[in-house]
Structure 1
Amino acid sequence: MPLPTSRELFVASCADSSSYPKNLLQTHKFEYTLNAYSYRLSDEKDNLFRNDKQSIFIWDLVDNAEAFNLSPNIESLQQLKENVNENTLDPQCRFVFLRTFNHRERMCCTFSQLTYLFSYHQVMPSFLDFCFELRSREDPLSTTLFRQEDYIGQRYVGTSLEHLGRSGTRLQHAFNILGFDEKSSHDYNWPLRYITVYHSFDIKLGRSFWIIIKGDGAMKERITTSTRKSQKEDPCAMKTPTGAFVASLRAHLLILEWCTHHWNDYIDYLDFRSKEPSAAVTLSPVSEIAKEFPDNWAQLRRASSIATGRSRRATGLSQHTGNGESSIMPKLLTRLSDGLSRMAPGLSAQARPPMQQSLPGAGSSQTPAQPENERHVQLEDIFTFNKLQTLHKLSSEVDKANMIIEQNKRILVLMREKYKALSESDDFKSLFDFKSCEADFIDFLHQIRNLESDLENHQTRLRTLLRKLEKDEALFTGVLQYQSMQTGEFFAKSADTSAARMEEWTIKMHDIAARTEQETVAMSVITFFTLVFLPGTFVAVRYGIPITGTVATSILTRSQTFFSSNIVKFDNSKSGNFGDWELQMSALKLFLTMSLPLMFITLFVWAVLRTYAGRKRRVKLALAELPLIEKPKGTTFGTLTVFR
């Protein structure tokens, strides 16, 4: 059975396009890698393709044509097959423009369209690494890649597809670059964009193929305009392999230049945004403002204390009517707002009108504006946390921009190194007349080097701006730390002053306690003697003891004290120091019999109560001094616990 021809194999490959890249006729990838690519492409097709919107344009320059031809928008697989045409020669140059819905969305084509296009042009499998990144995402694409798979040498001539005009020897590479579009810079909105490119060049026959994927039509317009102009100026330029090679080099430069555009404007924009927080941190009189903190804090405390006192008195407003309520409350709100304005300017202005409008008569109270020279400017007014966040965000943006330029520069270096190695390859020179285009080739390498130099200049500016932002951020943090230090020093001094006052008050309280102790001793003595004489006084009073009233009627008199009773009788007519007096022993015995037991009983009860109270107090103090431990099980009697 004869082996199938290359044409038959190609037709079978296109028919089995859904298994791409396993259906490729030629690749350097291993079988397991192809299987992994095919499985992932099929598994993630819902996240990679938009079946409801297709945007595919083909820009062809066929053999013997004088100009390029742009196809209509291809919206179906059948239209795609009609445009590529499996039975005719490949065009001398073909650009396929694919679009994504936007720079964070999927490709505007179907799974079958993409796999058929890649199968027809035998696109290298590693180009799928770029396609897998073109999916729905929250953040724009920010990574660059470079892939290549070349077939250079006589050994690849046998894999030709003559019916399509393919020699089997070709250069293949793919890359993506990042940058900004021109229209996005008009409104100071700088979203990150990307361009994904695949290029194939037939070394022997000079046929080139491009796939350009971008979120808009800017690159399509740029390429169609440039190639149309070049073809018009020199219609025969691309009819030879060397002319087509030079044209492909120019197309590379046209695409690669895009990643160097608008960086100056973007860096100027970042620098402009950094001026406000930078000026605040470098030009503000930090030391003078920080020194005013104690005075401002003292005034704030006085304002708060006044407002608090008024707010306490304001609790009786409901008892007043008329002008009393409308005159006191607005003053209170004004004072509160003035106090808050020192801490957060603008806060009271935002909060006061709604409060005043909700009160009766508040609209008639007009608060005069505070003079500008009396406003207390604090560090919190200048060095807000929002400005620190702005500095941090700017630093992140500058760092990210520096990273993007570094990635673009790496793509340029890889491109330059590839073509430089190509110019030194004997296999390449054996298939291609390199000397006839050597000057254009050297100019291409110089142009690539110039693009690298431009990116390095932008990188230098970004690094300078980044160092400036880092210094400003460090100084900003230092200002906040200095403010904290000044605040801590102020509160430390306040604490020392408060401690001294407390010590003074403690000494005074100790003196008061000593005097109180002396007075307590005196009161104890007075209490003791009061208790001693109280029973006798009680007994001496007439009818003091009703039970003995009938027995002592002859002894007790109507007098109310001991010496005015009949126990002692006085005769003032006789002379002497004490006069003449007579003691009634029976009355005295009765008095002592009744008063002495009462006196001892009273003293005993007082002593028992005093002892119990002292013991109870000592137990409470002892329990309070014990460490906090789990209470053991026991039986509690009052405040005492009996341990088991």
Structure 2
Amino acid sequence: MALWILSFFQVLPTFLEFLFAFGKQLRAVDFQFSGFREDNRIEAILNRGPLPEIGRSGQDYQICYNLKTFEYKPGIAWPWSSRQTVVWHSFDVQTGHASWITIKANDIIRDRLKEVSNMTLAKDNDLYTSVAKMFVNTLASHTVILEWSGEGWRRYINFLEEQLQSLKRRAIVDRVTRYAAPPPTARSPPSSGIPMADLPPSRTWTLLSPSTHTSTANAPPQPQQPLPAGVAINIPEEPREPPNAPPDFDPKHQGAADLDNDQTVYKIEELQDAQAFEDMVSETCLVLKSNFPVLAQIEAFFQSLPKSGDLDPNLRDCMTANIPRFLKRIQAVRSDLQMHLDRIETISRAISECKSLLYGIVEYQSMQANKLFASEARCSAQRMEEMTKEMKSLTLKTTLETVMMRIITVVTVFFLPATFVSTLMSTDIVHFNSFDSNINSGSTSLGAVKLFLCLSFSLMVATFTFGFGLYWWAVRYQV
């Protein structure tokens, strides 16, 4: 069907270049392609073969062009997308026969052309009785398409500026948190207060909102000279309320978790989003610039039409009277597009600057995080050094205690047999008289010896059993 239609109307072969840009696509393809093609055969030596059966004299012109704009489609993450319209038009200057082929992904152009045609017919019922009037009608149809190419840009650029403001708020307005180093671990003797010289500097409260700034009008005056180190003051355990804090800010619940959150405020994903935003704006700029040469070539083509010597005088007079008005409409569209282009280029430069600033912020945060980690590592090393010194002192004390225990053990083992013998001989088991001089002259009670041995061995068994039980319980349940 398409081949038959294109052959019947003798459409320019270059029209296929514009036609192939349409179709279902996963991503934008040939979005930068634009152009203007013409085939002017008004001169007698360039006339086509006449076909009077279908109302063709052979003295006509054909033009083919495409224009683009951005249209809004709700319900998606990025609701604006580039849309184009391809137009092929021929006009027979002898019969006034006009042919149109417009390609558009929706019915906007078709509905507007119908509306313009109905309005023109309502004003002039004799529209199709004069070649000059039919030519003026074609200019009105071209005007509809040209003005469509200038629509939508203002709303779309406003949308881009809203996205830019969000990016600026992240890159410029929001303040970057400066991570504080961990507090020193040096030990100080306990006192009723904290010396003023040892107090850390007051924290600068950073509120992530574009319109809050810390005011010092109500802040207490700072002392000109620091207090002596011996002066101590009592500091409350709860943190102090920052001045001019918003109602939903509660410093009592601000802790280490907030520091972790602050570290993730600026992420590398934001740089990726900024880069994608910049690419989208660059694509928009390229699409907008592609309309300018097309409009310029359309303007030049219609300016040259009345200059043909083979035109009918009435048609030439009509062209001379109406084409300047049509060219003014083109110039108005070009002027609006130039204004939109200036805005887009300004947005593109602002995005590039914000992206560079975001990159610097991410680098700064990385540097601050490295400093924080280095400070924590240094504090950990200091704590390990202190623990090592304590372990060294503890090892020395343990060594001294071990030496003392060994001395006590040696002395105990040395005197233990004599102590045992002295204890045994002080009882009634062994009995010597004061005048006995022989070692065998004493007497011994065999029953007492047996009783002593029975009691001793029984207590030894009970003691060893109890000790082994404690050792087994400790190994099983506490190790």
> What is the TM-score of this pair, normalised by structure 1?
0.46
Q: Helix, strand or coil: the match of 1:429?
A: coil
1:206 to 96, 100, 108: 96
- Using a 3 Å threshold, how does the CA distance of structure 1 residues 497 and 189 change in structure 2: closer, same or farther? closer
1:372 to 221, 244, 250: 250
- 1:259 equivalent to 2:149? Answer yes
Task: Compute the displacement of 1:451 (Å).
Answer: 0.5
Q: 1:390 is aligned with what amino acid? A: D
Task: Compute the displacement of 1:413 (Å).
Answer: 1.8
1:220 to 103, 107, 110: 110
CA distance in 2, matches of 1:293, 1:387: 26
1:466 is aligned to 348
Q: Any idea what the Cα deviations from partners look like across 1:97-144, whole Å, max 9, x if unmatched?
A: xxxxxxxxxxxxxxxx11111111111111111222223322356234
1:383 is aligned to 266
Task: Compute the displacement of 1:255 (Å).
Answer: 0.8
- Using a 3 Å threshold, how does the CA distance of structure 1 residues 387 and 294 change in structure 2: closer, same or farther? farther
Task: Compute the displacement of 1:459 (Å).
Answer: 1.3
Q: Any idea what the Cα deviations from partners look like across 1:137-158, whole Å, max 9, x if unmatched?
A: 2235623422424142211336
Q: 1:116 is aligned with what amino acid? A: W
1:438-457 aligned within 5 A: 438-457=320-339
1:409 is aligned to 292
CA distance in 1, matches of 2:302, 2:12: 19
Q: Helix, strand or coil: the match of 1:206?
A: coil
- 1:483 equivalent to 2:371? Answer no
Task: Compute the displacement of 1:508 (Å).
Answer: 9.2
Task: Compute the displacement of 1:257 (Å).
Answer: 0.9
Q: Any idea what the Cα deviations from partners look like across 1:388-435, whole Å, max 9, x if unmatched?
A: 3433332222222222111122321221222234445xxx23224423
CA contact (8 A) 2:179 2:372 kept: no
- Using a 3 Å threshold, how does the CA distance of structure 1 residues 130 and 475 change in structure 2: closer, same or farther? same
Which structure carries more relative contact order (alpha carbon 8 Å, separation 6+)? 2
- 1:431 equivalent to 2:321? Answer no
1:126 to 14, 24, 40: 14
Q: Helix, strand or coil: the match of 1:159?
A: coil
RMSD over aligned Cα atoms: 3.9
- Using a 3 Å threshold, how does the CA distance of structure 1 residues 240 and 483 change in structure 2: closer, same or farther? same
Task: Compute the displacement of 1:238 (Å).
Answer: 4.1
1:139 is aligned to 27
Q: Any idea what the Cα deviations from partners look like across 1:432-477, whole Å, max 9, x if unmatched?
A: 4423321311111121111011111111121222222222222111
1:215-614 aligned within 5 A: 215-286=105-176, 289-292=177-180, 294=182, 372-376=250-254, 377=258, 378-424=261-307, 428-433=308-313, 434-497=316-379
Instruction: Report how many residues are paired.
Output: 338
CA contact (8 A) 1:171 1:201 kept: yes
CA contact (8 A) 1:293 1:487 kept: no
CA distance in 1, matches of 2:182, 2:381: 18
Q: Helix, strand or coil: the match of 2:117?
A: helix
1:15-34 aligned within 5 A: none
Task: Compute the displacement of 1:168 (Å).
Answer: 1.5
Q: Any idea what the Cα deviations from partners look like across 1:244-269, whole Å, max 9, x if unmatched?
A: 22221221111111111121111112
Task: Compute the displacement of 1:226 (Å).
Answer: 0.5
CA contact (8 A) 1:257 1:451 kept: yes
1:173 is aligned to 63
1:148 to 19, 34, 37: 37
Q: Helix, strand or coil: the match of 2:81?
A: coil
Q: Helix, strand or coil: the match of 2:68?
A: strand
1:599 is aligned to none
Identity %: 26
> If each structure's helix is expressed as a fraction of its own residues, which one has the higher value?
1
Q: 2:251 is aligned with what amino acid? A: N
Q: 2:10 is aligned with what amino acid? A: Q
CA distance in 1, matches of 2:181, 2:4: 74
CA contact (8 A) 2:113 2:141 kept: yes
Q: Any idea what the Cα deviations from partners look like across 1:35-71, whole Å, max 9, x if unmatched?
A: xxxxxxxxxxxxxxxxxxxxxxxxxxxxxxxxxxxxx
Residue ranges of structure 2 left out of the alignment (5+ in a row): 186-247, 404-479
Q: Helix, strand or coil: the match of 2:114?
A: helix
